[in-house]
Structure 1
């Protein structure tokens, strides 16, 4: 956890309260770039849960990452007030509250930050005093949704928005490869078979395994790694059981290490997940697989990227489990279709 202290600089600072999801935090990065362009003299601090911090540390616009000391989902009013009193000493001119909850809007209000910018959320009038609105019938894609906060509430986000961009250096990558006994001279392919949202967002493990075996038959030197959190270990183990040459690293790497592996990858195949958006922000070639979620809402931005969706009549249903029980939006997207899109990418690097 980053200790709070009084800023040693006379320049006012900007506070951004990050989304709690890794993918959303990545897609908020263009907002940080716009804020830095508007006030290059202002350091940007980002308040975020610990599991998001490694992504924020890869953003060049971020000066300091402050870890949220609160329990997930808990209001903890007294703790938030005390934390905000410490924040006040850092001298913030503005606060951008990206989560739409009341409890995060309380922090800059408690801290006495004059300009508190965010979207209309749960009972936040007064706490947010520069209020933006989004049309629930026609919601914006995530990048322009966050980026619009850099302008006036009545304005729209610029048409030529910067895309999310993370930076990882070679000295950060090589120790991770060495630790995991991966060869820097051999091609590396990353799969992300998990999805925090629920089973409906997961391409079948048998399809991932078929794809891995097809790739290895054509490219026997390929190193295939399965990435995810500890919650994804069992799903990745199902893939490894059917494709034994794939390495199941889910839950065995920190997020910093996973970011380094993705930065080294020749390409990534992923469900709609946080790791997908990390790969996109690192400008890796990406195959993004969508079923119950809308591929236009949070697409990848890599120079080389393909969003695959069958767009069947019942999707996007946006449900955690298939309400019809057949999961056709994922089951019928077979590995051959994905391989046809991925194969040209593997010759890119």
Structure 2
């Protein structure tokens, strides 16, 4: 396609949560140039998140294998991008291989962070020499001049159609008007970020005791099916109110179901940040990661973190072997954060 209109290309991060937190960058780009179409080049696993953003004109799915250089394939793909008439590109991953694509495509203005010493490949270079900052501000800063002072960023915004929400509700066997709480018991990063299944099960029991007609849906990737099954086993008599949809929904369907949810309880994961960007009430559970680095930004949000001396360790598995940052986070504590949200919704 060879459009007369100059277009903008955004190259997506590889993680769902990071893609959500990059959305305010698009808000700023669209505010600056309302008539300029924005395309996003994204891995297939992340593409549904970008399709839920109003500012995106078209999502292009990357054909590359994760972690592979595939220089010939990147050169061939860059030739296709050259025909689309991009005036600028924003390279959100910090790797060299993603910065190669807009350079090979001949895109004149290539914006990003220094990353893997990408001098030349990135010609509008931002430096992350400042102390660690929240991810939303980190990405949104790319819309400004590299020398500009940091500004407060808008919060991420996603959307789902009414039709998609109805279809997702049917998939969850949700009755019209029935209260829906979504659990996200998995975490792609590793086991250390997962709140124990026994605690999720105890929370389900508290929910059903307070709201007997409630529906609790568990969402996640196929890797999270086992975590969902463990929660079912731990829920005891409340099990009949739960449905394990981890691995049974596409990400598009999960986004639609989250948009219908009355509240969401999630580990620090992509689903947490999707729910927050859909402006659903969320309870965010943080153990080995920093709750100040990527907090939920919904109107109604609660962050639960014990802030132990050993946290945030940012490790995939507990290096001390006790996992206290999640084990000692009781279901009562999470229920005390969740209960007012449901009362407010009612």
Same fold, TM exceeding 0.5? yes
Give the equivalent residue in structure 2 for 1:234.
226
What is aligned with 1:287?
A: 283
SS of residue in 2 equivalent to 1:166: coil
Shift of 1:215: 0.6
Alignment of 1:49-198 (within 5 A): 49-135=43-129, 138-159=131-152, 161-198=153-190
1:341 alignment partner in structure 2: 337
How far apart in 2 are the matches of 1:300 and 1:275?
A: 11
CA distance in 1, matches of 2:344, 2:19: 28
TM-score (ref. length: structure 2): 0.97
Equivalence for 2:214: 222
Tell me if structure 1 keeps the 8 A contact 2:10–2:40.
yes
Structure 1 position 205 matched with structure 2 position 197: yes
1:7-39, Cα deviation, whole Å (9 max, x unpaired): 44x220000001110000000000001001111
Gaps of 5+ in 1: 1-5
Q: Which runs of 5+ in 2 are unaligned?
A: none
Structure 2: how far apart are the matches of 1:105 and 1:206?
44
Q: Give the superposition deviation at 1:181.
A: 2.1
**C-alpha separation in 1, matches of 2:287 and 2:20:** 21
* Offset of residue 169 of structure 1: 2.1
TM-score normalised by structure 1 residue count: 0.96
Is 1:305 the counterpart of 2:301 in the alignment? yes
Deviation at 1:307, TM superposition (A): 0.7
* Residue matched to 1:3: none
Q: Aligned to 2:232, what secondary structure does the other structure show?
A: helix
State the aligned residue count: 341
SS of the equivalent of 1:134 reads: coil
User: Following the alignment from structure 1 to structure 2, what is the Cα–Cα distance between the partners of residues 7 and 25?
Assistant: 27
Q: Does 1:20 align with 2:39?
A: no
Deviations 1:198-253 (CA, angstroms, capped at 9, x unpaired): 01100111000000011101111110011000000001110011122311110000
Query: Residues of 1 paired with 2:208 and 2:216: CA distance?
Result: 9
Q: Distance in 1 between matches of 2:164 and 2:150?
A: 34
- Does structure 1 retain, via aligned residues, the 8 Å contact 2:96–2:118? yes
CA displacement at 1:183 relative to structure 2: 1.5
Q: Is the 8 A contact 1:134 1:140 kept in 2?
A: no
- Greater shift in the superposed pair: 276-285 or 118-127: 118-127
| Aligned mates of 1:60, 1:190 — CA distance in 2 | 24
Tell me what 1:323 maps to. 319
- Aligned residue for 1:348, secondary structure, equals helix
Tell me how far apart the structure 2 counterparts of residues 188 and 78 of structure 1 sit (CA, whole Å): 48
- The question of whether the paired residues in 2 share the 8 Å contact of 1:147 and 1:157 is answered with no
Task: Identify the match of residue 38 of structure 1 among 32, 53, 65.
Answer: 32
Q: Which moved more, 1:82-91 or 1:122-131?
A: 122-131
Paired position in structure 1 for 2:246: 250
Equivalent residues of 2:172, 2:217 under 8 A apart: no
